Structure 1
Amino acid sequence: MPRTARKKSKSGIYHIMLRGINRQTIFEDEEDRFKFIDTLRHYKQECEYNIFAYCLMDNHIHLVIKEGKDPLEKLMKRIGVSYVYWYNWKYKRSGHLFQDRYKSEVIEDDRYLLEVIRYIHQNPLQAEMITSNGEYRWSSYAEYTWRHSNIVDTNFILEMFSRNNETARDLFIEYMGRMSDSKKEFNLERTNRLTDEEAKEIIKNVIDNLATTQLQSMEKEKRDELLRKLKAIEGLSIRQIARIIGLNFNVVAKT
């Protein structure tokens, strides 16, 4: 399927998501997370971009950044290539680690910027990994609340709440504590995910209108070829493919 051109942000600010290929884990331990943060820091200095939020989950990454002297595509390529090179060296592997195209969403106003940052900080909470925002170590929430900035440009966001630092932090914490409805608020998560009805139509087209269950008894070589085509379609998840076709999740994931 042809790729659509990315929308350009007039403000230069984007919500970025990087996901592990086939949703695989991209951070095995603390060292991996420290390395990725160091990579962000290195290119922040070199490319002069701003970072307003981040969250490192096990198999995906959220970033809110403002372009600097390099365009977004170049910046994300440099960050991705640098981390993957190190990760492959460490784990004695080769090949891709991230899905081949990061997702990006433009942010043009302050209200939406704050909503996106709140959504990102609440990712571990929504995943039931923690019971309160302050418990998660691998997001920028700590940089806003511990009064110590590591790689995040916190002042830009905090000044939206108050010119007084203490008041701004208190208001920020209160705002971050309000639960957001991610399904309603964020196009990045919503528009790139297909409904089962949409997925069924795409699958039928790829397999030349065969009954989806026919893949279960199809010759393995032919079946795997079709599964690889389906997995390459943006928005079509492995779980959806397995469910609609009636194959085991692991069979689809390992193809």
Structure 2
Amino acid sequence: MIRGINKQNIFEDEDDRQRFLETLGYYKTLSSYLLYGYCLMGNHIHLIIKGMNESISQVIKRISSSYVYWYNQRHERCGHLFQERFKSEAVETDAYFLIVLQYIHQNPLKAGITKDISKYLWSSYQDYAGNPGITDIDFALDGFSNDRTKAVKLFIDYTNENNTDKCLDYTESVGVFDKVVMDYLNEMGITTISQLQRLSKDQRDDVIRKMKEIEGITIRQLARMTGISKSVIDRV
């Protein structure tokens, strides 16, 4: 799991997400790693990767450095975007592999981003469900059945089962969905977080005050979404 620094969002829009997937695909060829699954969330990314010619640390460094360089250029910002160290665990059995795969595909559902996993475009679920992309899907699907059509159906059924599994769990209690906050920012003429970060101190503080008026929003959520520290927001 790769997380934004100070838990801030790491994707401004679909172009950012598409660029990250392109980066995954590029280094997949260059570093020869296997990508079994992914899910792009607002401020963190889940990857199931098997290193081949390079260590996982080197692979993640390549991916993150490339994406951050592009992101900073595009959004006219500088500095770190991701926390220094990714969070990881080894997947040592086939059974746990399927649990982890199911867990990351259910992330958008459990976060309240979507009510239907199949409608979420930014995870490897789409690759498994019939639209092959950059994901290495054979290992998982062969575990369900040698018949590919049957395997896909079994995979879809399994992915949509209710469960309480937690793998590298990253949760936050949020009273207001991020989209509501972002819509409110858009109404104030702010279309991206980087635009907010470039405002003068007085302008920025005025925006923060107005956002804090939203019932249910927390200082932690504002800090995560804006990249502005909790102490600064608290003082404002």
Taking structure 1 as the reference length, the TM-score comes to: 0.67
Q: How many angstroms apart in 2 are the aligned matches of 1:62 and 1:122?
A: 11
The answer to whether residue 155 in structure 2 is matched with residue 172 in structure 1 is: yes
Is the 2:142–2:151 Cα contact (8 Å) retained in structure 1?
A: yes
Is the 1:118–1:180 Cα contact (8 Å) retained in structure 2?
A: no
1:158 to 130, 141, 152: 141
Is the 1:21–1:98 Cα contact (8 Å) retained in structure 2?
A: yes
Q: How many angstroms apart in 1 are the aligned matches of 2:234 and 2:21?
A: 30
Q: Which amino acid aligns with 1:83?
A: Y
* 1:240-255 equivalence runs, <5 A: 250-251=230-231
Residues 254/153 of structure 1: CA separation in 2 closer, same or farther (3 Å cut)? farther
Q: How many angstroms apart in 2 are the aligned matches of 1:105 and 1:88?
A: 29
Residues 107/253 of structure 1: CA separation in 2 closer, same or farther (3 Å cut)? farther
Is the 2:49–2:56 Cα contact (8 Å) retained in structure 1?
A: no
Residues 254/164 of structure 1: CA separation in 2 closer, same or farther (3 Å cut)? farther
Is the 2:37–2:135 Cα contact (8 Å) retained in structure 1?
A: yes
1:189, distance to aligned residue in structure 2 (A): 2.1
2:115 to 111, 131, 145: 131
1:254, distance to aligned residue in structure 2 (A): 8.0
Secondary structure at 1:103's aligned position in 2? Answer: coil
How much identity, in percent, do the aligned residues show? Answer: 47
Residues 254/84 of structure 1: CA separation in 2 closer, same or farther (3 Å cut)? farther
2:71 to 65, 71, 87: 87
Is the 2:37–2:123 Cα contact (8 Å) retained in structure 1?
A: yes
Which residue number corresponds to residue 18 of structure 2? 34
Which residue number corresponds to residue 18 of structure 1? 2
Q: Which amino acid aligns with 1:91?
A: H
- Runs (4+) of structure 1 exceeding 2 A deviation are 249-255
Residues 166-215 of structure 1 show CA distances to partners (whole Å, capped at 9, x for unaligned) of 11001001100112213xx42x228x99xxxxxxxxxxxxxxxxxxxxxx
Q: Which amino acid aligns with 2:151?
A: A
Q: How many angstroms apart in 2 are the aligned matches of 1:104 and 1:28?
A: 25
Which residue number corresponds to residue 164 of structure 2? 181
Which residue number corresponds to residue 100 of structure 2? 116
Which residue number corresponds to residue 207 of structure 2? none
Q: How many angstroms apart in 2 are the aligned matches of 1:23 and 1:253?
A: 14
Residues 55/102 of structure 1: CA separation in 2 closer, same or farther (3 Å cut)? same
Q: How many angstroms apart in 2 are the aligned matches of 1:104 and 1:253?
A: 31
Residues 254/47 of structure 1: CA separation in 2 closer, same or farther (3 Å cut)? farther
Q: Which amino acid aligns with 2:135?
A: V
Is the 2:118–2:126 Cα contact (8 Å) retained in structure 1?
A: yes
1:141 to 122, 125, 128: 125
Residues 13-64 of structure 1 show CA distances to partners (whole Å, capped at 9, x for unaligned) of xxxx011111111110111001000000000000100001100011110000
Residues 151/49 of structure 1: CA separation in 2 closer, same or farther (3 Å cut)? same
More contact order relative to length (CA 8 Å, sep ≥ 6): 2
Q: How many angstroms apart in 1 are the aligned matches of 2:88 and 2:233?
A: 25
Residues 156/54 of structure 1: CA separation in 2 closer, same or farther (3 Å cut)? same
Aligned residues: 183
Is the 2:141–2:148 Cα contact (8 Å) retained in structure 1?
A: yes
Secondary structure at 2:85's aligned position in 1? Answer: coil
Alignment RMSD: 2.3
Q: How many angstroms apart in 1 are the aligned matches of 2:54 and 2:125?
A: 26
Q: Which amino acid aligns with 2:134?
A: I
Q: How many angstroms apart in 1 are the aligned matches of 2:149 and 2:169?
A: 33
1:252, distance to aligned residue in structure 2 (A): 5.9
Give unpaired runs (5+ residues) of structure 2. 173-218, 224-228
Taking structure 2 as the reference length, the TM-score comes to: 0.73
Which residue number corresponds to residue 43 of structure 1? 27
Residues 62-114 of structure 1 show CA distances to partners (whole Å, capped at 9, x for unaligned) of 00011110111111101010000000000111100001110011000000000
